[in-house]
Structures are given as structure tokens and as C-alpha cells.
Amino acid sequence: MKTVNMHEAKTHLSKLVEQALQGQPFVIAKAGKPLVQVTMIETVSPQRTGFLKGQVEIPEDFDDMAAEDIKQLFEGETETESAAKG
């Protein structure tokens, strides 16, 4: 693993970080004494799809549930239909 002194690390930080992202970690030393190791952080994205699988049931008529109510919300009632009802 590459070791760089503090001054070199400050001067070439962008290049060194880019190398670390390519899988080449490095150590920063001060007066020849290693202080820190710089490595890429490997993030693992959480799985969102299917996280409730087996925990909920979706009714067979899910796609048609409340279809008439939804249709009415979009289309509304005419005054004639309203008067006929009441």
C-alpha cells in the first residue's frame, strides 16, 4: 500500500482520492509515522423492491376496487342526475 507524507497528501489530494476510488488505498504519514488509511467507502443500497413480500396480501380485485367511485370523482355528477336522486 502506498504511503504519502502529509505535505504530499495535501498537494495531491484529488489525485490520491481518485486512486483510492479505483481500489488503490493509501496511508498518510507524518514524519514517517503512519496516521490514517484512506480507502473507498463501499455503500450497499438497501433493497426496497419486495421488502414486504409475504407480509401483506393484495386482493384479487385490487385493480378494480372503487372503480365506480373513482370514475365519479373524475366525471362528476350532472345536475340532472343530482335532481333525479333527490
Cα gap 11→80, rounded to integer Å: 80
33-85 pLDDT, tens digit per residue, is 999 999 999 887 777 788 788 898 888 998 988 888 888 889 887 555 666 76
Q: Please tell me the number of Cα atoms within 13 Å of 15 on its side-chain side.
A: 6
Q: Which three cell numbers stand for residue 76?
A: 362528476
* pTM for the model: 0.50
Q: Taking the domains of the chain in order of start, what are their residue ranges?
A: 2-38
> Residue 9: is it exposed, middle or buried by C-beta count within 10 angstroms (0-12/13-18/19+)?
buried
